[in-house]
A and B are shown apart, each in its own frame.
Chain A
Amino acid sequence: MTDTVSTTITTSPAAPIRPTLSRDDIIMRLSMGAIAIFLIFAIILPLYTMLSKSFENKAGDFIGLQNFAEYFSTPALFLSIFNSLEISIIATFIVLITAFIYGYALTRSCIPLKRFFRLVSLVPLLTPSLLGGISLVYWFGNQGVAKGLLMGEKIYGPIGITIGSSYWVFPHVLMIVITALSITDARLYEAAESLRTSKLKTFFTVTLPGCKYGLISAGFVAFTLIFTDFGVPKVIGGNYNMLATDIYKQVIGQQNFQMGAVVSVVLLIPAIIAFTVDRIVQRKQVALLSARAVPYTPKSDMMRDTVLFLFCLIVAIIILGMVGMAQYAALVKFWPYNLTLTLDNYNFDVMDGGGWDAYYNSIRMGLYTAFFGTIVIFFGAYLVEKGRGFGAGRTALHMIAIIPLAVPGMVLGLAYIFFFNNPANPFNFIYGTMAILVLASVTHFYTVSHLTAVTALKQMDPEFESVSQSLKTPFYKTFSRVTVPVCMPAIFDVSIYLFMNAMTTVSAVVFIYASDTTLASIAVLNMDDAGDIAPAAAMALMIAYTCLAARGIHAVITWQLHKKTQAWRAR
């Protein structure tokens, strides 16, 4: 991999120079190699194994497209594609419109309680997606308190999935929409106003085009999340088959791993298409961002602000209602017949799903994921962004780091079974341990963390590395003395992101947990599965409170850090 060419002078002037590698260069290249191997083992090889499984029969012989032929000749299976597409598209539109109005109110109006609305909008991030489904059962199930609102329709099925999906995807979409709305140039509005353009026309000619890319991107994110989500349809789907629940049924219910792999491939394709389009669109948005824009300050408008305020209020009430109902139901003795309050439902140890151990496992898993994930991802991002040499290799690393965003958690999990549970695999020993859960979580949430780290690194002077070379200081010293301290806020952001997602993910770990590594989110799933829906709600909320506490700690640390480093972060 490295060649230490001697420095003898070659006589021919045209002879190409082969740079001598310093010890520093060699260490750096070895590090890149290590990260590359990590990514290959964590992403590329498992996915490859999973793909090849879809072309094999149970005995492991190659049978070409036979599995796919079987899949598409079984209506019960392939009709799920249309169900998944239909629900995803409808829910995407609902959540996009809601999030747009909500985000518009937060960025372009003078409504009161903006901070409150912003905080409330983040609540769905704190729980597994399952919680939305559970809460809907209590609201609109056959014993639901607001069942009448459905006018005889069943919540179990498309309606439930659509509402539940919209609920948990809302914050993801809102964040993108708010970013998009925040970057619009105020000077365009001044121009429109001076031309006496009507407000409506301004909206359609300035506002919408300005955040067009953000909206498209948000739409694709929503679509992919809903399309690949497993939690909501699992809880509230009833008989309505979706691709994600099909994988679960094939693998868990029927032990048909090959068909599971086939459904995974089917699930992967639209996710990858959506992802690719989104990437292209985002690239365009970056160009838009680079323009020198003046921030927009909204002026108050009684009519508009009132309407928007009421809208936000309703959305906030719905979000809080979802969580609140789940919390209430978790504290009730025997819904709906005995509504006395009790903590019985927190006695997880006598229930399916792994008990309190599952909860503690989740915290451990979250902490490991945050700790190791942040180290690997940040260092990897550093090498990609600031590394020397291996130009093409670094680009390839960056590409691989982007892949996990397009891979649904269940697909990754299934790929991990195929790949790691093979005795021939040198890493077979991690199967069934906490390590594989941590690896799956780190991998599943790699992309966003990687991009966050890269963004932070890009803001650093590219010459730091040159200076440290000229001062004969190895890169790892500058990395630890300068890069890491300067990027500390981003590093903390990455770790809290990893922690919260590791706490709440179901899909990435549902196939690979073992008895002594059961997780809280899995416990929620299994308790709901067994019909213990109140304890499931209770556990989901334990996750939420833990995430909330983690957020709190994160905020305190960030604030402390900010105070401590204020001297050099001036300006």
Chain B
Amino acid sequence: MKIKSFKSGMARWAAGATAGVFAALTVSAALAEDLTVYTAVEAEDLKKYAAKFNESYPDINIKWVRDSTGVVTAKLLAEKNNPQADVVWGLAATSLMLLKAEGMTEGYAPAGVDKLDKKFVDSANPPHWTGMDAWIASVCVNTVEAEAKGLPMPTSWKDLTKPVYAGHVVMPNPNSSGTGFLDVSSWLQMFGEGGGWDFMDGLHKNIAWYTHSGSKPCKQAASGETPIGISFAFRGAKSKAKGAPLEIIIPSEGVGWDMEATAIVKGTKKLAAAQKLVDFTVTMEANEMYNKGYAVVAYPGVAKPVEHYPAGILDAMIDNDFEYAAINRKAILAEWQKRYDSKSEAK
């Protein structure tokens, strides 16, 4: 009964925070329950996220399923006929677009979604996903190793194709890594279809190896396994904070980025609780929480500068066409694989 009253009172509920808290209390009293949440958010942040959420909704217990972007996406797709997740909180927007195209997401306009930057909200009505923060490509350079090997500091993507960097660059394989894919899609957008592949042909000559994960290149740069790792800014900042001799470079042409976003999985038996969670994910306090690691968040005006983040990264973010990326994903990956993923062609 309480559920019903909750549902019918939805419109009123969205109006004010007090009503929200009230409803939350009634619902949580009725449904102290587990919510299975799939995520690709860094493991070290999950506990903080859950704690913050439970401050507002103490009776919804989050059961995290954490893995890399590729794995989480694969898992969701594998479970298409029998979804195990209730909510996806913190997965690449391009992946969520893919899930949306497969009809696996539930349209829902969370309370307060209109406050978010339009860029961060699915254009459908109601939206199927809402963004949290942007995760931005950048290049991690190990200063110690670069100096030892006599490598000049690169300033642009094109720099990385110079022969001097041969065998010194590591990047994520776009087939398995979300970061890798956003790099490739950004290059194709910045340099054009032809220019983009030309650039990658050049880059491929210098690549030491492709990693499966997007954070690994930066971590390997941090430990000197490679002098240069193409990764994302957040990871670089973290490693730098740990004392790695890293310089985080923003290539002058601009950097690709993707959103971490949230969506409700279609067919969840816990829709009410799922909606509460999604409501929380778009709040200001949630965005402040995202800002601990990410310089760009969905809620305008919240973002404060993040320590060790390279300056000027916001201006360097390209005008990313997510539709393009999502629609062409399969073709791009197939082309990439054809060109670079076989030993016969690896130098």
Chain A contacts to B: CB under 8 angstroms: 74-77, 79, 83, 137, 141-143, 154, 156-157, 234, 238-241, 248-249, 251-255, 257, 334-338, 349-355, 417, 421-423, 428, 431-432, 514-516, 526, 529-533
Q: Is the CB of B212 within 8 A of A74?
A: no
Given known contacts A75-B342, A79-B342, A143 and B67 CB-to-CB distance under 8 angstroms: no
Q: In angstroms, how far is the closest chain B Cβ from the Cβ of A261?
A: 12
Rounded to whole angstroms, the CA-CA distance of A488 and B52 in the bound complex is 53
Given known contacts A156-B208, A334-B244, A350-B43, A423 and B346 CB-to-CB distance under 8 angstroms: no
- Chain B residues near A79: list those with CB within 8 A: 342-344
Q: Is the CB of A352 within 8 A of B223?
A: no
Interface stretch among B18-26, B252-260, B302-310, B333-341? B333-341
Given known contacts A338-B243, A351-B43, A249 and B219 CB-to-CB distance under 8 angstroms: no
Q: Tell yes or no: B234 within 8 A of A by CB.
A: no
Q: Tell yes or no: B78 within 8 A of A by CB.
A: yes
- Chain B residues near A76: list those with CB within 8 A: 337-338, 341-342
Q: Tell yes or no: B290 within 8 A of A by CB.
A: no
Q: Tell yes or no: B8 within 8 A of A by CB.
A: no
Q: In angstroms, how far is the closest chain A Cβ from the Cβ of B105?
A: 15
- Chain A residues near B82: list those with CB within 8 A: 421-423, 428, 431
Given known contacts A76-B338, A350-B44, A352-B43, A253 and B225 CB-to-CB distance under 8 angstroms: no
- Chain B residues near A74: list those with CB within 8 A: 337-338
Nearest B-chain residue to A516, judged by Cβ: B63
Count of B residues near A, CB < 8 Å?
58
Nearest A-chain residue to B39, judged by Cβ: A515
Q: Is the CB of A239 within 8 A of B243?
A: no
The 6 lowest CB-CB distance pairs between A and B, nearest first, are A531-B219, A253-B176, A515-B65, A531-B216, A76-B342, A238-B209
- Chain A residues near B338: list those with CB within 8 A: 74-76
Q: Tell yes or no: B213 within 8 A of A by CB.
A: yes
- Chain A residues near B78: list those with CB within 8 A: 255, 257, 417, 421
How many residue pairs bridge A and B at CB < 8 Å?
Answer: 147
Q: Is the CB of A143 within 8 A of B346?
A: no
Interface stretch among B69-77, B117-125, B195-203? B69-77
Q: Is the CB of A142 within 8 A of B224?
A: yes
Q: In angstroms, how far is the closest chain B Cβ from the Cβ of A373?
A: 25
Q: Tell yes or no: B79 within 8 A of A by CB.
A: yes
Nearest A-chain residue to B231, judged by Cβ: A531
Contact of B244 among A156, A238, A337, A516 (CB under 8 A): A337
Q: Is the CB of A240 within 8 A of B208?
A: no
Nearest B-chain residue to A350, judged by Cβ: B44
Q: Is the CB of A337 within 8 A of B213?
A: no
Given known contacts A83-B343, A241-B342, A241-B343, A531 and B208 CB-to-CB distance under 8 angstroms: no
- Chain B residues near A240: list those with CB within 8 A: 343
Q: Is the CB of A239 within 8 A of B210?
A: yes
Q: In angstroms, how far is the closest chain B Cβ from the Cβ of A423?
A: 4
Nearest B-chain residue to A335, judged by Cβ: B223
- Chain B residues near A338: list those with CB within 8 A: 243
Contact of B242 among A83, A239, A334, A514 (CB under 8 A): A334
Rounded to whole angstroms, the CA-CA distance of A209 and B169 in the bound complex is 52
Rounded to whole angstroms, the CA-CA distance of A335 and B346 in the bound complex is 29
Q: In angstroms, how far is the closest chain A Cβ from the Cβ of B235?
A: 8
Cβ proximity bits B206-238 to A, threshold 8 Å, 1 near / 0 not? 011111110111111011111000000000000
Given known contacts A143-B224, A241-B341, A252 and B213 CB-to-CB distance under 8 angstroms: no
Nearest A-chain residue to B40, judged by Cβ: A352
Given known contacts A530-B215, A530-B216, A515 and B63 CB-to-CB distance under 8 angstroms: yes
Which residues in window 131-186 of B have CB below 8 A to A?
144, 173, 175-177
Contact of A529 among B74, B79, B216, B225 (CB under 8 A): B216
Contact of A353 among B43, B208, B245 (CB under 8 A): B43
Q: Is the CB of A337 within 8 A of B70?
A: no
Q: In angstroms, how far is the closest chain B Cβ from the Cβ of A333?
A: 9
